[in-house]
Structure 1
Amino acid sequence: MKYDRQYYLLTEDSQSALYMLSESEKSDDGLLKLLSMRSIKRKVLGPGYMHITMGDDGNFKPCDYHEVLPSGLVSDKFKQVLESFQLPGVDFYPTYIENRGRTWDAHYLLHVWQNHRALHPKRSVYDGTYENDRFQLEKMCLNEDVLDKVPLNERLVFRLNEKPHYLYHESVVVALKAAGLTGVGFLNVQDWGPNSAFI
């Protein structure tokens, strides 16, 4: 249970939650593989393009973080914080945001492919079959037996192998908070639930 206190998920704050951004057809086709649990650098040959699909686009200004599936759209400022940790298995793909004839650069689609099978099979609560990863996660608890064996630098930011949830170690969260980023909130694993995005 010690790791449940140490890890966070990123959420949108009230500023970035006003808008929903989605990839446009102009995005490089390789970016369709952002859910992959391995590097996709060879597959991505061009930039990504995002557009606003919901919200008052007349007042839009990009935040440092937007909850774009699967693992987020981040600003250069956000990217620099993560790069300072020299994270293995985390890549950034240049992405443009287009809205009403205006274009913002210096944003990146985040691909987190460092992954660990780190859910505790007994303390986590789920509907379905854990062994086949056919379940709906209700309560997340992390497995000390697994994470104790992983060097810290390899689990500072990672994806749960069982389900596409992206976890940030408290040391990374401290640095992100100190950077004064816009658009991002932090939800501790202990507080996470399937409806936590709507609280």
Structure 2
Amino acid sequence: MKVMDWISPASGLVGALIGGGASLYVTRLSHRAQMELKGVEIHAAQLDREDAARGRIAAVLGPRLAAMARLLREEGIEFDDGRENPDWPLLVMEAELAALEIPDRQLRELFTGSLFALQHSASSFQYLNRAPQVAIPPLLDHLVQCLFAWRRGDPQPEPSQAFEDATEAWGHWRDEHSAS
């Protein structure tokens, strides 16, 4: 047998091995690209769900905060004879229930704590030496700013001095009432 007789089958075998290896490599690359694309699609779908949830929560909580501000501005939380406006605790409770849906723990705690202070506003802001009608608007403004910053995915805004004063007064009231 001559060497030339072996070259043709050997080159065919080498060609088949190279072709099979290249085919396997390209198939693996294709599968990997599909898996990466699927992972990107899953991540995009998850982001869409989170964005929809943020939008839903903001759509429920935002109008409640606006209704609280409107009631405070138009009617007040107390009538002239000192009785509490019965709409105020209902609005605060609705906002508290909506705030419980916020998945961000720090923001949820800010809302629930602030709304609890608003629920007890007649006494919880007594350390401010100003009427609740003066102390509450900065609190509501900050909550609205925080809600929509979270909705957009922006960092939380810095609280105003009026908000800091209100939360400090509320903290004193809470400490006093939790000790007794």
Normalised to the residue count of structure 2, the TM-score between the two structures is 0.25
Higher relative contact order (CA 8 A, sep 6+): 1
Q: Which has the higher strand share?
A: 1
Q: Which has the larger radius of gyration?
A: 2
